[in-house]
Homo-oligomer: A and B are copies of this chain.
Amino acid sequence: MEEIKQRHLNILLFSGDYDKCLAAMILANGAVEMGMTATVFCAFWGLFMVRDAAKLSLQDKNIQEKMFASITPVNAEKLPLSKLNFGGIGKAMLLDMMDEHQTPHLQDFLQGARKKGVRFCACKLSLEIMGFKAEELLDGIEIIDVHAYLEDASNSDIQLFI
């Protein structure tokens, strides 16, 4: 009896833009809904999506890390648009248009993906550079390095850099 290998989606989420993170989460949810497995590896600005606003801490951070932590978005819903952001007006308009069509927000897609069992990972090196601590992230995010990412990606059927 031959076992059919489950198809796998691997996303390297580099972007911290609301619209790109939304695309990533729609893809991850869609993949799991159709029986695929999915990994989202958050690196660089992509880490902003998995920060937990309630757990942010300025302790054990140097001055630059504190400044960086302060000027950057504290969670998924605070991310800016990649286009037409206009200091937030464009994003408000997009969210209104999404509400009009009962489309869930990024936060909802993110929670959906977490409940459905999408594997969320954070890039070890990016965390170090940005001065973020594992404790400041949402629960259950694995910290892995670039080798572990490449291992997962090379065993996937779809790999995307978003």
Contacts and interface: CB of A to CB of B under 8 A. Distances in A.
Contact of A64 (B9, B14, B82, B100): B100
Task: Determine chain A's interface SS by DSSP, over half rule.
Answer: helix
A73 to B, nearest CB: 11
A93 B65 CA distance: 9
A125 B19 CA distance: 13
A146 B30 contact: yes
A4 interface: no
A162 interface: yes
Q: Which of the four size classes fits the interface of chain A?
A: 35 or more
A33 B100 contact: no
A83 B16 contact: yes
A23 B103 CA distance: 30
B147 A33 contact: yes
Contacts of A93: 64, 67-68
A97 B130 contact: yes
Nearest to A102: B128
A104 to B, nearest CB: 11
A36 B129 contact: no
A36 B154 contact: yes
B153 A158 contact: yes
5 contacts: A30-B150, A68-B97, A71-B84, A103-B128, A150-B158
